[in-house]
Structure 1
């Protein structure tokens, strides 16, 4: 088993044992199983998949860092939301607005800001729409 802790600036989002996680890193997705080699990695905005027994749970992570050592995983994030905390209608509406803003963005700064807002909205929507078998 792995001991997973997800810490945001204002709260501990997750603190329990899990069987496996899949992280969205800056280099792509990475699966973590027990006895993984020690690691420090940057996290991208995306969905973390968490396997508890045979069930999977999803969490939208808004960037951060993960450390893995001796079956202890500590994830420090700017913001995180469990899929159960996300309102599907609000997430869909936010995604559509972010998508529209991205297509209308002009200038480098506005485009970067719109792209980040789009990635955050997409991660939240994916966290509630992703199903695991």
Structure 2
């Protein structure tokens, strides 16, 4: 059997498809979902959602949210997603380095939190590029 997955933002449906396997960016680590998974609701961190269908992975960068898993159905509700538009490996690596530097120079807690979120997005971009290449 296959898993039905839907990814939704407040503005639109990002995807509605089937998958053999789904990997979610949970707050405490990655959550892998296979056919027949136990019912679960989990908070999601900024990171990479991966959908596997027919031995091919499709990455989607999520910016926080929730996921509901119920046996063969996964519903992902997120604040927003980041589109992967022709970002090259060199550029993604540069963005990751810049984000790491921003954490180092952050002066306030808010600046550190914002920089940490950017670091998570930059890391997810780099991971997504690796899955696409």
Q: What is the TM-score with the length of structure 2 in the denominator?
A: 0.85
How far apart are the structure 2 equivalents of 1:13 and 1:21? Answer: 15
C-alpha separation between the residues in 2 aligned to 1:96 and 1:119?
Answer: 12
Residue 68 of structure 1 aligns to a residue whose secondary structure is strand
Cα separation, 2, equivalents of 1:74 and 1:82: 19
Say if 2:109 is the partner of 1:104.
no
In structure 2, distance between residues paired with 1:10 and 1:32: 26
**Which residue of structure 1 aligns with residue 130 of structure 2?**
129
Deviation string 1:68-107 (CA, Å, 9 cap, x unpaired) is 1241111011122465x45226544433332221121112
Q: Which residue is 2:62 aligned to? A: 61
Q: Does 2:118 correspond to 1:117? A: yes
Unaligned runs of 5+ in 1: none
1:37-48 pair list within 5 angstroms: 37-48=38-49
Aligned equivalent of 1:34: 35
Equivalent position SS for 2:37: coil
Q: TM-score, length-normalised on structure 1?
A: 0.85
Listed as ranges, the matches of 1:10-29 within 5 Å are 10-29=11-30
Any idea what the Cα deviations from partners look like across 1:111-131, whole Å, max 9, x if unmatched?
122111211222122211247
Aligned residues: 131
Superposition CA RMSD, Å: 2.1
3-state SS of 1:38 partner: strand
